[in-house]
Amino acid sequence: MPENYDDLIMEDVKETEPANPPQERLSDEEYTEKKKEERDNLSDMAKQAETEITGDGGKFQQYLNTLARFERYSAQNTLLIFAQRPDATRLGDFDHWKEQGEYVNKGATGIAIFEPGKEYKREDGTTGVSMNIKKVFDISQTSMNIKKVFDISQTSMKDKTPSVSREIRILLKALMSNSPATIKLVDSLQDGNGAHYSESRDVIEVVRGLDGDSLFRCLAQEIAYAELDHQSTETLQCKNKGFAAYAASYTLCAKYGIDTKGYSFAEVPAYFADRDGKEVRSEIKTIRDTVNDIAIRMSKVLEPQKKAPMQEARS
């Protein structure tokens, strides 16, 4: 009698059966509820990040370092990037990396952020914008090999770190372009600082003879202060313009490779103490918006052949 091999076929079928049966299709209501829960969880993550950075000066400084790389993202999304991958340097979704000729590494966990969706009418007749969840990936999570990442990193550092006077001169020129207040040189200032913005005269006075890094730090802070001072009291969303300008100055220095050793955020927990979540979010948003506005102006000088970076909705 010929040998029967049917058992082999049956075993093969068993082995190729899916380990998990396909899930039952969700109803429209269930799908809507599921997506709402995902958005709520992501919002909670951003709020948790707010609590973390405002309770620790070191964490707040780390957040500003993340903001320095992603100031074009909304305040909420910079918090989400910080919460999930604070060391990220360059982000893109699947399609972006595919367009670059790269692919996302198998098993890589995406960074969840919000992106604006469709407009809708609220019950009071005003227009709102729905928010969807989008997954992005850092360059370190892609097929770009170490050599490519190293080359990009070195090029980036070369672009951002002023190693010769001509480079710091270009950065300073970009920083001062379209300044919100007139900038003038003086021999000295009474407070001993390198620069000072006078609200009453709408003038930034700068002491003569400062080195490049010191001049950038001083000017960045006073330009940021002037930027905030020009906002109406109805729209200004920070408790103290001086603190917001100081944080914005640090962020701009971190972004463009200026020495930041002199900055300290030890007072952050006391500054944010007894403030509710809405006030905290407004403060963080103010810092982000100020950095973004100045960086956009600077980009027009630093990269005149390129369009200004696209700006996310301020949420």
Residues 147-190 pLDDT 10s: 455 555 544 444 443 334 559 999 999 999 999 999 999 999 98
Model confidence band, residue 128 (pLDDT cutoffs 50, 70, 90) = confident
Q: Where are the beta strands (DSSP E) in 31-122?
A: 91-92, 111-121
- The mean pLDDT of 236-260, rounded to a whole number, is 94
The per-residue pLDDT for 306 is: 62
Is pLDDT at 15 greater than 70 in this prediction? Answer: no
| Residue 123 confidence (pLDDT) | 80
More confident residue, 21 or 59: 59
Residue 25 lies in a domain: no
Q: Please give the pLDDT value at position 26.
A: 77
Residue 75 lies in a domain: no
User: φ, ψ for residue 252 (rounded to 5)?
Assistant: -65, -40
Nearest Cα to 64, choosing from 247, 214, 228, 245?
247
pLDDT at 286 over 70: yes
Residue 1's Cβ-count burial label (10 Å; 0-12, 13-18, 19+) is exposed
Residue 108 has pLDDT above 90, yes or no: yes
Count the residues in the chain: 315
- DSSP state, residue 115: E
pTM of the predicted structure, to 2 decimals: 0.82
Any domain includes 167? yes
Distance CA 251, CA 62 (A): 10
pLDDT > 50? residue 288: yes
Residue 32 carries which side chain, given as an amino acid letter?
A: T
Task: Report the alpha-carbon distance of residue 290 to residue 71 in Å, rounded.
Answer: 9
Q: Does 272 fall in a domain?
A: yes
pLDDT tens per residue across span 28-80: 777 778 888 999 999 999 999 999 999 999 999 999 999 999 999 999 999 99
What spatial distance separates the first Cα and last Cα of the chain, rounded to whole Å?
A: 78
Report if residue 32 sits inside a domain.
no
Question: What local confidence, expressed as pLDDT, does residue 283 receive?
Answer: 95
Spatial CA neighbour of 266 closest among 49, 54, 58, 50: 58
At 159 the three-state DSSP class reads helix
Query: In whole angstroms, what is the distance from residue 43 CA to residue 157 CA?
Result: 33
pLDDT (0 to 100) of residue 312:
59
Res 162: pLDDT: 38
Quote the domain boundaries for residue 252: 161-302
154 found inside a domain: no
> Is the predicted pLDDT of residue 242 greater than 90, yes or no?
yes
pLDDT at 309 over 70: no
- The pLDDT value recorded for residue 252 is 98
**pLDDT attached to residue 148:** 58
* Residue 286 falls inside a structural domain: yes
| Position 210 in a domain | yes
Cα(137)–Cα(81) distance, rounded to whole angstroms?
10
Task: State residue 237's pLDDT score.
Answer: 78
**Which pLDDT score, from 0 to 100, does residue 158 have?**
41
Q: Average the pLDDT over 220-226 and give the result.
A: 98
User: Which range is least confidently modeled, 76-85, 184-193, 259-268, 290-299?
Assistant: 184-193
- Give pLDDT, residue 161: 39
Per the structure, how many domains does the chain have?
A: 1
